[in-house]
Amino acid sequence: MRTHLFLLLMIFSFTLSKAQWVEIAPGVDNALYDIYAITPDIVVAVGDNGTIIKTIDGGETWQQKESGTSNRLTKLQFPTSDIGYIIGGGGIFLKTIDSGETWFSITAGPDCFYQDMSCVDENLIFVICNGILMKSTDGGENWNEIGSIPGNNFQFLSDEIGFMMTLSQGLFRTENGGEDWIKLDIYYTLFQFLDENVGFLYSAGLAKSIDGGYNFEFLGGEFGDWFSYFYVENENRTWGILEPIFDGDGTTRGILKSEILTDGSYAEEVCFDNDNTVEMYSIHFANENTGYIAGYNYAKGIVWKNSTGINTMSTAEQVETAKIKVYPNPASDVLNIDLGKTFTEIKVSLSDVSGKQFISETHKQKDKLSIHTQTLPKGVYVLSIQTSQHMFNKKIIIN
């Protein structure tokens, strides 16, 4: 699987334009670990040695802000355009009320080691402090201890509804503010919810829930679950920063966009940077066209900006996808695939909505092919068609 992924990413590195993401040097000699685009032009990033930087002109110029610490700053959230929070190493917890111009210290308790943070709004904040879930309803002035929490990756959507991922048991949901947790999924992976009902996780492909995590529908994808960061932009589009190590230097350079297209099919797009000095840590979009990535290059803080519509499939990709015809759908005995052109090699697989694979075939020099479905149980499946340049997924019904 890793060999296959490596080859596919290398192909994508030549077929997708790196210029879609423009590298910006903000002028800091420290790695950047998190970034938040308050607007397309107003962006704050944090990193090593207490680094806080801000731009108000879309990355043209950056100003370094005083943090009052030399500790690593790891996570940043702005529940409003003015109010933001940062957690970091050594018990660092910072707050701003002027859009990141100035920062001051707050605390959820003495000797806290902050593992994660989730800001529902400017007043309602949850943190994990030394394995204990803590809650503030007044912007961090006062805190209540909810109880121990085994996960270190969590998200709250309201005072009552939240989600937690644990290493050994997978995804959980709470409906009473973290006092009790309901087990949802057995897989450990990164996840994010847009609201109390709609959420995504990526484990050997993208899966979506519309019922608060009780059920997930497998949408497609074959990149595994090697994400260092996962970001959900909207109900149809997610982003992941891949973390496979291909050259032994431990860097992360793959950006994976997953998208549900207007016809209900599923597509993935990868941008791959061949520079082995680059590491990317987090990604955030201000709107559907403008996004930023934080990381480093040659141990210096780097920001990558995209404002060219990478999250809208390019004309060439739309043409290639439009050429693929799958019929009949629903199918009974056979499923026909018209690729619209001859491919040197193409891989076709059919999986159920849980991700279980029933058919996997590789064909060479084909423009049309058929797969037999008469022995498959009736139900909904995901057809994946993978070429050297594209990944195409479509929902199929077998009668």
Condensed to tens digits (0 to 9), the pLDDT of residues 208-257 reads: 999 999 999 888 875 555 688 999 999 999 998 876 544 345 555 678 88
Q: How far apart are CA 89 and CA 50, in angstroms?
A: 9
Condensed to tens digits (0 to 9), the pLDDT of residues 375-385 reads: 999 988 888 88
Mean pLDDT of 22-37: 94
User: Domain locations in the chain?
Assistant: 2-316, 323-398
Angle among Cα 120, 210, 258 to the nearest 5 degrees reads: 85
Q: What is the mean pLDDT of the chain?
A: 84
Nearest to 301 by CA among 21, 78, 64: 64
Amino acid found at 169: Q
Q: How far apart are CA 209 and CA 153, in angstroms?
A: 18
Task: Name 385's bridge partners.
Answer: 348, 392
Q: Are 95 and 101 in contact (CB under 8 A)?
A: no
Q: How far apart are CA 141 and CA 162, in angstroms?
A: 22
Nearest to 125 by CA among 79, 89, 91, 92: 79
> What pTM does this model have?
0.76
Q: Are 364 and 344 in contact (CB under 8 A)?
A: yes
Cis peptide preceding 330, ω within 30 of 0: yes
Mean pLDDT of 114-142: 97
Q: Are 356 and 376 in contact (CB under 8 A)?
A: no
Q: Are 52 and 88 in contact (CB under 8 A)?
A: no
Confidence at residue 143, expressed as pLDDT on a 0 to 100 scale: 97
More confident residue, 307 or 169: 169
Q: How confident is the model at residue 329 (pLDDT cuts 50, 70, 90)?
A: confident
Angle among Cα 16, 7, 258 to the nearest 5 degrees reads: 50
Confidence at residue 152, expressed as pLDDT on a 0 to 100 scale: 78
Mean pLDDT of 265-282: 75
Amino acid found at 264: G
Q: How confident is the model at residue 31 (pLDDT cuts 50, 70, 90)?
A: very high
Q: What is the CATH number of domain 2-316?
A: 2.130.10.10
User: How far is Cα of residue 54 from the mean position of the Cα atoms in its chain?
Assistant: 23
User: How far is Cα of residue 33 from the mean position of the Cα atoms in its chain?
Assistant: 15
Q: How confident is the model at residue 22 (pLDDT cuts 50, 70, 90)?
A: confident
Max mean pLDDT range (9-13, 178-182, 362-366): 178-182
Q: What is the CATH number of domain 323-398?
A: 2.60.40.3080
Nearest to 54 by CA among 69, 39, 70: 39
Q: How far apart are CA 382 and CA 351, in angstroms?
A: 5
Confidence at residue 308, expressed as pLDDT on a 0 to 100 scale: 62
